[in-house]
Amino acid sequence: MSSTPDPDVAGQAPRRRTFAVISHPDAGKSTLTEALALHAHAIAEAGSVHGKGTRRGVVSDWLDMEQARGISITSAVLQLKVDDVVINLLDTPGHADFSEDTYRVLSAVDCAVMLLDAAKGLEPQTLKLFEACRVRGTPVITVINKWDRPGQEPLALLDEIADRLGIRPTPLNWPVGIAGDFRGVIDSDTGGMTQFSRTPGGATLAGRERIDAQEAAHRHGPDWQTAVEELELLTSSGQTHDHDEFLAARSTPVLFTAAVLNFGVAELLETVKQLAPRPQPWTDVDGQPRLVDAPFSGFVFKVQTGMDRSHRDRVAFMRVCSGRFERGMVLAHAATGRPFQTKYAQSVFGRERETIDEAYPGDVVGLVNAHALHVGDTLHDGPAVRYPPLPRFAPEHFAVVRSRDTSRTKQFRRGIDMLDQEGVVQVLVSDRRGAQAPVLAAVGPMQFDVATHRLEQEFGAQTLLEPLGYGLARRTTTAATPVIDGKQGAEVLRRTDGTLVALFTNKWRMSTVASELPEGSLLPMFGADDHEIS
């Protein structure tokens, strides 16, 4: 194994921008993701989520269930090239039930684009995801979307960002025309205007015309004057972009878009290219940074099966943290010390994939049929390194799942194992219930819908789901198990990693049972090496 830094990495890593798009459901996240791909010329024509008429569905929503419901259920990876810059865009689920998948993605990016609905402003899921970025110190670019529809006043939206998030919004551009009458934007640096014009259905690039302030005033009259006065007010109050403050996550650049019309999307793409941070050293479990040009290391933040319907393969998504990745290199698996072959390495664009021969810090590599890898694993070359584990979520919903057809038991068990390894749900079992009636544990009930849908579509195993009345989970001990199992409204099961899990109907039931147990019998759901998020 080499321990010498690769000089080529010093040139390649600064070209990378790796970011995630986060939002509340229905803020237009998947539409924006697709619009960015369109502006980067990665696709020729945009589509709506439902693929109306002859238009195709969004490239990032590749699961059948996503396309049917019009929501993002799983994260997706898209790599775009803009001039000399490589942009790794990670689309995330917006629904709160899939927060854990979003948190995993946030661990792999250097920046986040927070998307707000112009009419609704900050919503509960947006607040939760922003807090995750704050904890990690992740810089955030704010995009106020749907300016083609009626919405709030722009100054009111910026006040809400400042008051509720405690971060200083600094507009890079400002809308000309009220929400619902989007004419274009003022560039805060030049004072000129970019005027937009529609294309049929928003399927192709919107027209963009740059005009100076005098021409803008002539064409747009009072709307231009209002926009100028509002932007001057913000400038005089010090709400101008400071790059160091942005990188320190103390301010957030703000842009305005109408993603469904492709208005303002080119401006966002340019902002990511110019302002998003380059890959930085990752800190290992001992608090030591691994330099970007150090020998190779990578972090597995997601595992996904079922992307290839023909082969039902399993893809581990790995963020390159340091050094150069070369297909075929033999890496060390930090958790086991065993060698790991990287013969089957691919770059992923939604569901489409192609072989990748090399990758650099910030890039995401799909390792195919990586059955030895799990979420949170580290791979490395040269000096050993292990990165901190990912945050874990405490489940709040539980249901027994059974196969409807006993002749499909083998397929049912294989599917359950796959869903468990991916982290779609957690799987709990007990001698009392038997291996054919595992308990699925989830953050939100929609995870059950995904699990049963995929069991049927990918493994041909139709299922029966029986919700359980439990709402709390805690780790427990072998000695406490008989006491807990003997109480109404409580039960002990075993997680597939061997952890004993006590389930309770509510906090009152848990506190009552706990009073009869030795101290230390009930612990947070996840072990000392994990971080629990509730």
- 277 known ligand binder: no
Strand-pairing partners, residue 90, are 20, 77
What is the distance between the alpha carbons of residues 129 and 152, in angstroms, rounded to a whole number? 22
Token pair 């874990």: residue? 392
Helices 409-422 and 446-459 meet at what angle, rounded to 10? 130
Is residue 13 within 8 A of residue 171, CB to CB? The reply is no
- 94 known ligand binder: yes
- 218 known ligand binder: no
What is the distance between the alpha carbons of residues 438 and 413, in angstroms, rounded to a whole number? 10
Q: What are phi and psi of 56, to 5 degrees?
A: -85, 160
Strand ranges across the sheet with 500-504 = 463-467, 397-403, 439-442, 426-429, 490-495, 500-504, 472-475
- 50 known ligand binder: no
- 380 known ligand binder: no
In three-state form (DSSP H/G/I as H, E/B as E, the rest C), the secondary structure along 192-211 is CEEEEECCHHHCCCCEEEEE
What is the distance between the alpha carbons of residues 506 and 503, in angstroms, rounded to a whole number? 9
- The 8-class DSSP code of residue 339 comes to E
What is the distance between the alpha carbons of residues 517 and 510, in angstroms, rounded to a whole number? 11
Judging by beta carbons within 10 Å of its beta carbon (0-12, 13-18, 19+), is residue 442 exposed, middle or buried? buried
Which residues are part of a known binding site for GTP? Answer: 91-95
Which residues are part of a known binding site? Answer: 91-95
